[in-house]
Chains A and B, each alone.
Chain A
């Protein structure tokens, strides 16, 4: 599904050069739920941004479905993001000026050939999946953190993407809310076969996924099946 080959990411300013990722090689097969852990600043989010085609690596190749995408142009990347990828962010990134329903519909605005009625139906289905059918007309500021994150997940899954990239989706939530969000993601993975890559600081959450990759100083230090699966150290 996603393959990273010799990925390097260097941030360069006038005075300083920061290596965010160094020689990262990863393959994430279709249908896998992977968590990525590591201390702050170790390059986890950069990795997710590169996988999600929001950021370009300084060196290396990103392949999605076996196709290298380094030479794609802005609108082709936008098309892949729209069709194949859904994002969930730690701080939700909902548009406060739009209602819950309008927020969820957003990805389909950029997909041609979906009628308004179809879009509405898909948004309602997505909200039903995350248990928020009763809040369609509310605005994000009227919701709790957990509810906002559920809206964000509904937005990520409305376009039925093959991959969901979640950057600390439970980071701003208490344990109960965090658990709820995690269950939604696990269901998505098990029932719909959605590939999920989740960055997290929470070891408990990470242990619920199939595979755990650890990062330190921009380098991948371990890649293993979790306790729930066969353990394999690399």
Chain B
């Protein structure tokens, strides 16, 4: 039966080439935009190098102190808080404390090179999956001894050293010399917790580590033993935070800080409210945006489909005369529409591959490496099916309601 439907669908497509072109253009353009958006989403929040084990990784990137009616201050947490209270949590497998990246200047051949530098500990390299193209990370000993060593990315190696190796050579940034111990593949800027051009031991940072302030400019990256430990880590963190709250010098100050997954962190920053991560809102907004975006072309396709009902009324009449029920007719036309949509989706994939290549090439997103992976493909397929259903159900329903006798006469009823 399916073969019969697909044969018909294909022939119908070929019959009216202009209509087919309009339909396919609408579908493929819509799906292209959605796939590019999906690729961007996946790039920002999906498991990508170096944050691959995302189901086992949490980030702490915010600390808010609030005294109702008095003050509210928020920002990244301090080193002291993360080092003394988060690093000492017992549920995680490992905790890394690392600085927010900052820009330093380097000079090469009288040319200024602005580099984003990040101060990290050795656990950072164990939790995250950086791809080393040369050398390796610095270890606990280098951090303890505050050795001036650095891991740089490929782009910095290219800009600073040219087409040559960098390990063992010296790079100078803000008048401090570092020996390069490793070179990693570029990390896109959207991976805020891991991104930098240059990573150096956290012990090289000149800062008063005895300050008890809760806010500073550090992140913590937490790795769980297993994915199912994530909730336990969050619970332990919450208990610890209550303890810190009790010891706060300003009585009545409430503290808000959470170990979040990468997408939770994003949702909480823009849509969250106290203990609500904002995830539900984020997904609702994304779903509404996708549906709204699909709505116009879907209505257009539905309209074209309806206008073609008369063209096929004799077929509908014959099918009904020989035993097709209304629901079989609905099924047939939905399958045909999904076939058309999948075809448009295929074109959309090709188009989006081109657009992603253009985005990568343009440098709009620093070190972007957008691509169409399996996750994007699966979501794209899902969008195609939704689109096919949305634009196919109503016309199919209308077609199925055609009275067999009227349909055989040419659909005048």
B308 to chain A: closest CB distance in Å? Answer: 13
Assess whether A97 is in contact with B11, with CB atoms less than 8 Å apart. yes
Residue numbers in B under 8 Å from A221 (CB-CB): none
Give residues of chain B (290-325) contacting chain A, Cβ–Cβ below 8 Å. 314-315, 317-325
Whole-angstrom CA separation of A209 from B119 in the bound complex: 99
Given the contacts A54-B320, A55-B405, A95-B315, A78 and B325 also touching, CB distance less than 8 Å: yes
List 21 A–B pairs whose Cβ atoms lie within 8 Å, in order of A's numbering: A49-B405, A52-B321, A54-B404, A54-B405, A74-B326, A78-B325, A81-B320, A81-B322, A81-B323, A83-B323, A87-B321, A89-B408, A95-B8, A95-B315, A95-B318, A97-B12, A97-B15, A106-B319, A107-B322, A107-B323, A155-B322
| Closest chain B residue to A76, Cβ basis | B325
Whole-angstrom CA separation of A94 from B321 in the bound complex: 12
Question: In this assembly, does B328 line the interface, its C-beta being within 8 Å of a C-beta of chain A?
Answer: yes
* Cβ 8 A contact of B8, one of A97, A110, A155: A97
Binding site for B on A (CB under 8 A): 49, 52, 54-55, 74-75, 78-79, 81-83, 86-87, 89, 93-95, 97-98, 102, 105-107, 109-111, 155, 159
Assess whether A98 is in contact with B4, with CB atoms less than 8 Å apart. yes
Assess whether B323 is in contact with A111, with CB atoms less than 8 Å apart. yes
Question: In this assembly, does B1 line the interface, its C-beta being within 8 Å of a C-beta of chain A?
Answer: yes
| Count of chain B residues near A, Cβ 8 A | 25
Assess whether B317 is in contact with A78, with CB atoms less than 8 Å apart. no
Residue numbers in B under 8 Å from A75 (CB-CB): 325-327
* Cβ 8 A contact of B317, one of A93, A98, A106, A109: A93
Whole-angstrom CA separation of A102 from B2 in the bound complex: 12
Whole-angstrom CA separation of A7 from B99 in the bound complex: 89
| Closest chain B residue to A80, Cβ basis | B323
Given the contacts A95-B8, A98-B8, A106-B319, A78 and B15 also touching, CB distance less than 8 Å: no
Residue numbers in B under 8 Å from A110 (CB-CB): 319, 322-325, 328
Whole-angstrom CA separation of A4 from B399 in the bound complex: 30
Assess whether A74 is in contact with B325, with CB atoms less than 8 Å apart. yes
B318 to chain A: closest CB distance in Å? Answer: 5
7 nearest A-B residue pairs (beta carbon): A82-B323, A97-B11, A110-B323, A107-B322, A78-B325, A75-B325, A54-B404
Assess whether A79 is in contact with B323, with CB atoms less than 8 Å apart. yes
Question: In this assembly, does B398 line the interface, its C-beta being within 8 Å of a C-beta of chain A?
Answer: no
| Closest chain A residue to B1, Cβ basis | A109
Question: In this assembly, does B7 line the interface, its C-beta being within 8 Å of a C-beta of chain A?
Answer: yes
Assess whether B324 is in contact with A54, with CB atoms less than 8 Å apart. no
Residue numbers in B under 8 Å from A97 (CB-CB): 7-8, 11-12, 15
Given the contacts A52-B321, A110-B322, A93 and B8 also touching, CB distance less than 8 Å: no
